[in-house]
């Protein structure tokens, strides 16, 4: 099994190192990851600038781009054969609920799915991010990689995995939960008297609903949420079909 590993925390992050080491026990691993942290960059693709790829050590490529760039370049440019699996992580912090729309970690797994390669993203929800915590998550990822490789995934589906810190209570299939965001934006003044702003400085919460990713992880279970490429909200069709969409003809 050939496994392409990426992340959004950068190629030197402890999460990707632990992940690559663990996955190397079940397959051949090539790491293609951003040369610096690219968190919360979502599914961004670099189209108007060249990308640089430096092999900083055998099998480890540092890319001057986004996680999506890394997967695309890895599959189409750096690897001589198509990988059997793409694993993105281990992210420092959970990627649950509405955070999925921002996550570069999750976007990398989505990009692999668009390229026709099975994939999953894995994140660690921990207040400390000790090396041993990453090791537990990495060991789980190695087992999941074997299962995905042998069983396959449903069409156009990838997995979003979130691992809690400490002893793992269980593994649960979950649905995407709901995040409660703070409206706070921090405004400060720089030494030249100009205002600048920090987004995302407020407290974050979540709706603790059984069956969701947040609920599973907060109760010590690994959350596995199957995500689909089709974002269509089919449940809205009945309501929207009653709208008047008549075109106004220009005179």
Expressed as residue numbers, the domain containing 82 is 2-178+208-231
Residue 214 lies in a domain: yes
Note whether residue 249 is domain-resident: no
In a domain, 243, yes or no: no
pLDDT at 181 (0 to 100): 63
Beta strand 205-206 with 179-180: parallel, antiparallel or unpaired?
antiparallel
What is the domain-level CATH number for residue 156?
A: 3.40.1210.10
Which pLDDT score, from 0 to 100, does residue 167 have?
A: 87
Joined together, the tokens standing for residue 203 give 């407290």
Give residues with Cβ within 8 angstroms of 144, minimum separation 6: 120, 122, 159, 161, 224
Cα gap 205→202, rounded to integer Å: 10
DSSP H or E stretch at residue 180? strand 179-180
- The pLDDT of residue 182 is 61
Query: Measured between alpha carbons, how far is 11 from 173 in angstroms, rounded to an integer?
Result: 29
N- to C-terminal Cα separation, the chain? 62
Does the residue 105 lie in any domain? yes
The number of folded domains in the chain is 1
What per-residue confidence (pLDDT) applies to 178?
Answer: 87
Q: Which residue ranges of the chain lie beneath pLDDT 70?
A: 180-183, 200-205, 248-251
- The closest alpha carbon to 217, from 190, 187, 179, 188, belongs to 179
Cis bond upstream, residue 90 (ω within 30):
yes
pLDDT of the residue at 202: 57
- Give a yes or no: residue 38 inside a domain: yes
pTM score > 0.85 for this model? yes
């Amino acid at each position: 099994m050939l496994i392409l590993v990426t992340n959004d925390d950068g190629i030197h992050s402890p999460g990707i190192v632990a992940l690559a080491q663990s996955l190397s026990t079940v397959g051949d691993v090539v790491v293609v990851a951003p040369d610096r942290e690219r968190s919360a960059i979502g599914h961004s693709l670099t189209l108007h600038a060249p990308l640089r790829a430096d092999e900083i050590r055998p099998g480890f490529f540092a890319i001057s781009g986004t996680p999506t760039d890394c997967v695309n370049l890895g599959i189409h440019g750096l690897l001589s054969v198509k990988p059997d699996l793409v694993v993105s992580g281990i992210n420092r912090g959970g990627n649950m609920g509405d955070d999925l729309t921002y996550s570069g970690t999750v976007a990398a797994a989505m990009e692999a799915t668009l390229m026709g390669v099975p994939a999953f993203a894995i994140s660690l929800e921990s207040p400390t991010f000790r090396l041993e915590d990453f090791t537990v998550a990495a060991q789980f990822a190695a087992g999941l990689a074997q299962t995905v490789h042998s069983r396959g995934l449903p069409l156009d589906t990838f997995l979003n995995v979130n691992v809690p810190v400490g002893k793992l209570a269980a593994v649960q299939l979950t649905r995407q939960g709901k995040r409660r965001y703070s409206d706070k934006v921090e405004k400060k003044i720089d030494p030249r008297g100009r205002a600048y702003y920090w987004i995302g400085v407020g407290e974050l919460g979540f709706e603790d609903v059984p069956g969701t990713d947040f609920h599973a992880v907060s109760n010590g279970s690994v959350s596995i949420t199957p995500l689909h490429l089709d974002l269509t909200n089919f449940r809205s069709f009945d309501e929207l079909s009653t709208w008047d969409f008549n075109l106004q003809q220009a005179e």
